[in-house]
Amino acid sequence: MVIGGAGFIGSHLVDRLLADGSAVDVIDDLSMGGLANLADARSVGGALKIHHLDAGSGECSSLIGMRTPDVLFHLAAIPRGDPSAQQLAASFATTMAVLDAARAHRVTKVVVPLPATALYGRPGSRDLPLKELPIEPRGVRGVVARAVIDLLNVYRELDDLEFTVLALSTVYGPRQRPAGGVVAAFQAAATERAAPVITGDGRQTRDFLFVDDAVDAIVRAGERGSGLVVNVGTGEQTSLRDLWSSIAGRSGKDPQFRPAAGDEINRFAVSPMRARIHLSWSPWTSLTEGLMQLR
């Protein structure tokens, strides 16, 4: 069962699970995703059911009870982008309802991807690539993300609900909306021959992870890594200036630079070492190869 399965990462996860021969139930209120993202999944057939539901509703809990999934992938724990306090509060309440339903209906395992940039504060260059501990929330998103981890630990201790949290680096790939990530925004700007907007000086770095690699880690977490927070990234840093050069080439316009937010991260990358050990996972798509699949 995939909550948020009509979104960017969720729809790719659905494709992968169907290709593996799994029966998949998608629960999505379509507030962030869209049925168009599931067009490929619907066209190939297979055991796919799509439920237009609020994941925090009683109807969703009843559905979980009826379907009794072995693994529940919760991809809607933290809203993407720059969510308001109200959106974050609503997402946490939804996560509590989802986990309570999973506990009540004896779901074996819950896998929850969270944004790594919200979990590790503003690290120094010498600390990169980051290991999983300590968790130092950055902003309100980070506080909510850590609360989700705390909640999972409580359910595991009291109700034997197994979980794996995946701290994802900056995921990109097909189907991502321009507002959903810097790679998609740059790709849209290059297509329109427009100047991209960069907050800060563009020398800040991120760890860019292709969506197929991220999905492979999510699937593996369905059977591995129980009780752990596991970083999922390449461990490599790419500056936003270099990213724009890679996407637009010499024909691209110079970026427009705007002041960075007060909590802007200067440099960021996560170590995939624990993922190699506990998920038997390593990234395989280089940034160059991934960007080629967007053209």
Res 83 pLDDT > 90: no
Query: How large a percentage of the chain has pLDDT more than 90?
Result: 91
Region for residue 60 given its phi and psi (left: phi exceeds 0; alpha: psi -120 to 50; beta: otherwise): alpha
Average pLDDT value for residue range 68-74: 96
CB atoms within 10 A of CB 111: 25
At 124, the pLDDT band (50, 70, 90 cuts) reads very high
What is the set of domains in the chain, with CATH numbers? 2-171+210-234+270-283 (3.40.50.720), 172-205+237-265 (3.90.25.10)
- Give the span between the Cα atoms of 134 and 68, in whole angstroms: 34
**SS3 per residue for 22-75:** CCEEEEECCCCCCHHHHHHHHHCCCCEEEEECCCCCHHHHHHHHHHCCCEEEEC
Tens digit of each residue's pLDDT (9 = 90 or more) over 125-161: 999 999 998 999 999 999 999 999 999 999 999 999 9
At 263, the pLDDT band (50, 70, 90 cuts) reads confident
At 166, the pLDDT band (50, 70, 90 cuts) reads very high
Average pLDDT value for residue range 180-200: 94
- Give the span between the Cα atoms of 190 and 121, in whole angstroms: 31
